[in-house]
Amino acid sequence: MRQNRTMLRTLLNIIWFVFAGLGLFLGYALAGIICCLLIVTIPFGIASFRIAVYALWPFGRAVVDKQQSGVGEAFSLVGNVIWVIVAGWWLAIGHILTAIPLFVSIIGIPMGWANLKLIPVSLMPLGKEIVPSDALLPTYRRAA
């Protein structure tokens, strides 16, 4: 069962890589490079690189909130507000608009969901981390 799930994730990731992942990766990576040109925008650049890697291979991974102290949370909040105003809304709208045509075909439905999965991290990327989706749920063993 687990092997079938892994094979399915790999197949979906390969299809995603060919039709959407590589383009999204290059776009977010370019944004990360541009953001890293100024010292003030380096946190946005790091967030862009994190999104780029997630956009390259999204199946089998999920976005979770980082455990932060009070000061880290405050910086993330302020940075996320700036990000939403400058880029977040446009990125979220772009992901929605590209997900809609994917839902038209049966093969495109998982790709549409993957595009929608990118919205929360593209809308507010600071204070987030990408983890394997298996880490979110406890593993259960079947009784033999």
pLDDT tens-place string over residues 125-140: 998 888 888 766 655 4
pLDDT digits (tens, 9 = 90+) for 55-79: 999 998 888 888 777 788 888 899 9
Report the distance separating Cα 94 and Cα 85, nearest Å.
15
Mean pLDDT, range 28-44, rounded to an integer: 92
Is the distance from CB of 127 to CB of 47 less than 8 angstroms? no
For residue 139, being part of any structural domain is answered with no
* % of the chain with per-residue pLDDT over 90: 45
Residue carrying the six token digits 């290059």: 26
What rounded mean pLDDT belongs to the chain? Answer: 86
Question: Of the candidates 10, 7, 9, 55, which has an alpha carbon nearest to the alpha carbon of residue 32?
Answer: 55
pLDDT above 70: residue 51: yes
Q: If you count them, how many residues does the chain have?
A: 144
Higher pLDDT, 83 or 143: 83
Average pLDDT, integer, range 71-99: 89
How many CB atoms lie under 10 A from the CB of residue 85? 9
- SS3 label, residue 64: strand
CA distance 47 to 10: 25
How many domains would you assign to the chain? 1
The answer as to whether 69 is a domain residue is yes
Summarised one tens digit per residue, pLDDT across range 110-124 is 889 999 999 999 999
Give me the domain span that covers residue 119.
2-133
Beta strands in 77-121, from DSSP E residues, in sequence order: none
Which comes out higher in pLDDT, residue 138 or 104? 104
Cα–Cα distance for residue pair 137/28, rounded to 1 Å? 29
Decide if 141 is inside a domain. no
